[in-house]
Chain A
Amino acid sequence: MKLLSPMTTRVLTRSFQVRKGRTLTALLALTTAAAVATAMLNLYVDLEAKLTTEFRRVGANVMVTAADRGPISTESLAALQGIVRPSDIAVPMAFAVAKTQSGRPVVVAGVDLDAARRANPWWSVEGSGTALVGVRAKEVLRYEDDGAVLTFNGKPYGLESTATLRTGGPEDSRIYIPMAQFSAWAGVRPSLVELTVQGSAAEVNDAMSRLRSAAPSLDVQPIRQVTEAETRVLGKTKAVLLASTAVIIVLVVVCVIASLTSSVLERRKDFAVMKALGSSQSEVSAIFLAEALLLALAASLLGFALGSGAAAAIGRINFHAAVVPRLSVLPPVLIGGMLIALISARLPLLRLQKIQPAVMLKGD
């Protein structure tokens, strides 16, 4: 093949060796374009995963109740627990309206306290204890004379060590105690399960439909307040990032093409000498294009590495989790790099072909 003849190889190697400065400049330009494209594409692809993880800190996104609003049967609860993945959190809750000693009604909830706090990282808990008492419920208990004893169906439950819970929501008026103690005391089954399902909207929908088919007696509903806000914010953020990505890539590419074109135009004397020494039009073009392609290949690989590094760094700084480099970004970056190189070599060549070597060599 003509491209790989010893002469061509020699022309190419010498070309890079002799004009180091210029080669480096072109390499810099192409690498910048490739690195920017890689970093932005990586960020864009990873954004959804990063933001949905952030959104799960808002709390549960799926609410499960019995279809008749009564207690959830043991079988349904087991079926539900079987479907939930280890990364998801399921918090079954049981409620009873108990009376304090002075006869005031207060809602007591039985719950796995650790799971509930993991699912709702925004709960502000002061102190530590075996029970969480909402800040408003605490106000009421303050009027009790000796220790706090709650009564439900005539059975007493003594609150021992308590921590204070502050949320600004309905939790402030409740008392949360461990589920095992709650069932032994009140004998009421869970009537509600709050589910925190990780993943994209599609994955959450999928989990919901699996739940519905596994336990048909359950009513499985998305918490729309959370899911709709998530969809909106995610969509808008993705769109902004996409628009920025497009603007940055297009502008950098135009800038790179402009400077590369100019550097090829500048070499009209090399072009003329080769033609004067008897090369055909296509041979000369092939050499110029091969040079550009080699450069683009090196620059794309280098830019891919740098850009992946930049995206990973941005992920670590901003989301405290690296953006894992995606190999799927490599082909578009490689092809894009080659295209840029080809365009910026081809355009000036078309112009040079029309000029006689003699005219160029004379210097006019």
Chain B
Amino acid sequence: MFPRLLFQSFSRQRRRKLLAGLAVMLGTAIVTAMIAVQVDIGDKVNRELRSLGANILVTPAEDTLDVEIGGVNLKPASEGAFLAESELPKLKQIFWAHNIVGFSPMLNAEAAIAGLHERVPVIGTYFAKELQTKYGPVVTGVRTTHPWWKVQGEWPGDERREILLGERLAKKLGRNGPGYTYFNNRETKIAGILSTGGPEDDAVIVPLAMAQELIGRPGAVRRLYVSALTKPEDAFARRDPKSMSPEMLERWSCTPYANSIAYQIAEAIPNVNAEQIRQVAQNEGALLSKISGLMLLVTLGALLAAVLAVSAAMATTLFERRREIGLMKSLGAGSGSVATLFLSEAAVLGVAGGLLGFGVGAVMAKRIGMAIFQSEVPFQPILMPYVFLLALGVTLAGSAGSIRRAMKIDPAVVLRGDAA
């Protein structure tokens, strides 16, 4: 009898079921889309925040003090300690290799350039250098770690004798585009003009190998900027790893805090200091948690709105069926069986509408990701059962109020037709 009632209810009242199903579907779609976006927004914004630049700085452990004013280091270029360029591929072999978006070595030097009496500052670095690591080739350099560097012309090749002129220096030399000049007394190609808004605007930027040649120290690197995807710092992240128990140290090392990534880098490369650049690392964490917090609250709000919208639709359909309920009751059905029938109906609707809405929501999330971040919001299959249960929950919660009211209906009153 019960299955028949359920079946008939769906086959006879198509319009009403369609309405309720539509409501459930839309509700689920909102929830699915918002959850998919919410889960992924942290990762997406984290990548956008990498445009703030490197968040970890690696320096030689025994280095002398930097004498730097306004971004210009007055310390003689060959003084102090250096990092070994040959150690760099190790960065891509540590546990957090996948979190390291890129890194750029820097080496300061000085050289003469045609048209100026005084020597100009020279910075050697990687532009987009291909490095061989144990796990295959990786491409890294300032184009990844310093996205605010803009070049008019072309980026130099890392293996060629090509240079970039800083914008202000180029102005001083009266150059406004690519060309040739005498740099360090050799004819050299200017690939482009670099504009950074910083001290690099007054310098010549060259491939790392050229700078090493200038100071006569092959394989030397002064400092290394690392750009890594990190987790916002909490109280646990700030603890000193030396004071931790082995289990705590393991948990600490297995969380991508800027500090724990820096710690691992210092372990992988001998004799270096690796430290988070607080200006970037600290603020990045704060911004990230603010933005994901906002999206979480919006998702919760959307969930509430979905419940309310579904409950309004459910109330409408049940309201229209009060005569039917009256009839059932007058034929001897108890409140329990009436509630069971309607709850089962809601569950069927929840499953069907939920499945459809799930698909619609996933497509929407994907569209949002493509339109805004030019990359998909990947839908984690692991979310599926949760979203599904949530959809069912939304439907049942939305129906609960009206079903309770249906149970209280007095058959005599509704059948006479007086009820409001």
Residue of A nearest to B302 (CB): A248
Contact A259-B19, Cβ < 8 Å, known A95-B69, A223-B197, A224-B196:
yes
Residue of A nearest to B38 (CB): A244
Stretch at the interface among A4-12, A151-159, A225-233, A284-292: A225-233
| Contact across chains for A236 and B65 when beta carbons are under 8 A apart | no
**In-complex Cβ contact of A259 among B30, B44, B68, B313 (8 A):** B313
Task: Give the distance in Å from the alpha carbon of A256 to the alpha carbon of B22 in the complex.
Answer: 11
| Contact across chains for A259 and B66 when beta carbons are under 8 A apart | no
Interface residues as binary, A253-286 with B (CB distance below 8 Å gives 1, 0 otherwise): 0111011101100100000000000000000000
B388 CB to closest chain A CB, in angstroms? 18
**In-complex Cβ contact of B67 among A26, A40, A107, A247 (8 A):** A107
Task: Give the distance in Å from the alpha carbon of A162 to the alpha carbon of B317 in the complex.
Answer: 74
| Contact across chains for B312 and A243 when beta carbons are under 8 A apart | no
For A317, the chain B residues whose CB sits under 8 A away are 293, 297
| Contact across chains for A225 and B53 when beta carbons are under 8 A apart | yes
**In-complex Cβ contact of B22 among A22, A223, A255 (8 A):** A255
For A57, the chain B residues whose CB sits under 8 A away are 283, 286
**In-complex Cβ contact of B312 among A29, A105, A123, A232 (8 A):** A29
| Contact across chains for A106 and B65 when beta carbons are under 8 A apart | yes
Interface residues as binary, B364-391 with A (CB distance below 8 Å gives 1, 0 otherwise): 1000100111000000000000000000
Interface centre among A20, A35, A262 (most CB of B within 10 A): A262
Residue of A nearest to B357 (CB): A251
**In-complex Cβ contact of B287 among A26, A55, A222, A252 (8 A):** A55
Q: Any chain A CB within 8 A of the CB of B301?
A: yes
| Contact across chains for B30 and A247 when beta carbons are under 8 A apart | yes
Size bracket, chain B contacts: 35 or more
| Contact across chains for B305 and A248 when beta carbons are under 8 A apart | yes
| Contact across chains for B298 and A244 when beta carbons are under 8 A apart | yes
Q: Any chain B CB within 8 A of the CB of A127?
A: no
| Contact across chains for B27 and A43 when beta carbons are under 8 A apart | no
B204 CB to closest chain A CB, in angstroms? 17
Contact A251-B316, Cβ < 8 Å, known A122-B278, A236-B44, A318-B294:
no
| Contact across chains for A263 and B275 when beta carbons are under 8 A apart | no
Q: Any chain A CB within 8 A of the CB of B57?
A: yes
Interface centre among B65, B282, B298, B306 (most CB of A within 10 A): B65
Task: Give the distance in Å from the alpha carbon of A254 to the alpha carbon of B233 in the complex.
Answer: 42
Task: Give the distance in Å from the alpha carbon of A51 to the alpha carbon of B45 in the complex.
Answer: 13
Question: Using a CB-CB cutoff of 8 Å, which residues 166-209 of chain A contact chain B?
Answer: 166-170, 173, 191-192
Question: Using a CB-CB cutoff of 8 Å, which residues 69-107 of chain A contact chain B?
Answer: 69, 95, 97, 104-107
Q: Any chain A CB within 8 A of the CB of B277?
A: yes
Q: Any chain A CB within 8 A of the CB of B319?
A: yes
Contact A123-B22, Cβ < 8 Å, known A251-B29, A317-B297:
no
A60 CB to closest chain B CB, in angstroms? 10
| Contact across chains for A258 and B22 when beta carbons are under 8 A apart | yes
Task: Give the distance in Å from the alpha carbon of A28 to the alpha carbon of B314 in the complex.
Answer: 12
Q: Any chain B CB within 8 A of the CB of A295?
A: no
Question: Using a CB-CB cutoff of 8 Å, which residues 268-310 of chain B contact chain A?
Answer: 275-283, 286-287, 290-291, 293-295, 297-298, 301-302, 305-306, 308-310
Task: Give the distance in Å from the alpha carbon of A35 to the alpha carbon of B294 in the complex.
Answer: 17
**In-complex Cβ contact of B298 among A26, A43, A226 (8 A):** A43
Q: Any chain A CB within 8 A of the CB of B7?
A: no
Task: Give the distance in Å from the alpha carbon of A166 to the alpha carbon of B74 in the complex.
Answer: 21
Contact A25-B279, Cβ < 8 Å, known A170-B66, A255-B22:
no
Task: Give the distance in Å from the alpha carbon of A244 to the alpha carbon of B114 in the complex.
Answer: 57
| Contact across chains for B67 and A58 when beta carbons are under 8 A apart | no
**In-complex Cβ contact of B309 among A20, A29, A228 (8 A):** A29
Task: Give the distance in Å from the alpha carbon of A29 to the alpha carbon of B305 in the complex.
Answer: 9
| Contact across chains for A192 and B276 when beta carbons are under 8 A apart | no
For A310, the chain B residues whose CB sits under 8 A away are 301
Q: Any chain A CB within 8 A of the CB of B147?
A: yes
A170 CB to closest chain B CB, in angstroms? 5
For B372, the chain A residues whose CB sits under 8 A away are 236, 239-240, 243
| Contact across chains for A255 and B294 when beta carbons are under 8 A apart | no
**In-complex Cβ contact of A20 among B44, B57, B278, B420 (8 A):** B420
Q: Any chain A CB within 8 A of the CB of B77?
A: no
**In-complex Cβ contact of B277 among A20, A168, A314 (8 A):** A168
Contact A120-B279, Cβ < 8 Å, known A232-B48, A318-B294:
yes
**In-complex Cβ contact of A221 among B197, B290, B306 (8 A):** B197
Residue of B nearest to A96 (CB): B69
For A349, the chain B residues whose CB sits under 8 A away are none
Q: Any chain A CB within 8 A of the CB of B34?
A: yes
B60 CB to closest chain A CB, in angstroms? 12
Interface centre among B71, B74, B420 (most CB of A within 10 A): B420
| Contact across chains for B298 and A40 when beta carbons are under 8 A apart | yes
For B301, the chain A residues whose CB sits under 8 A away are 36, 39-40, 310, 314
Q: Any chain A CB within 8 A of the CB of B164?
A: no
Interface residues as binary, B1-32 with A (CB distance below 8 Å gives 1, 0 otherwise): 00000000000000110010011001101100
Q: List 13 A-B contacts (CB under 8 A).
A: A22-B316, A25-B315, A36-B305, A47-B294, A54-B290, A191-B70, A225-B53, A229-B48, A229-B52, A237-B294, A241-B295, A251-B26, A255-B312
7 new A-B contacts, CB < 8 A, other than A32-B305, A97-B74, A224-B148, are: A50-B290, A136-B65, A192-B70, A224-B197, A229-B48, A229-B51, A247-B364
Task: Show the binding face of B for A, using Cβ within 8 Å.
Answer: 15-16, 19, 22-23, 26-27, 29-30, 33-34, 37, 41, 44-45, 48-49, 51-53, 57, 64-71, 74-75, 146-148, 196-198, 275-283, 286-287, 290-291, 293-295, 297-298, 301-302, 305-306, 308-313, 315-317, 319-320, 364, 368, 371-373, 405, 420
The 3 closest A-B pairs by CB, nearest first: A29-B312, A224-B197, A255-B309
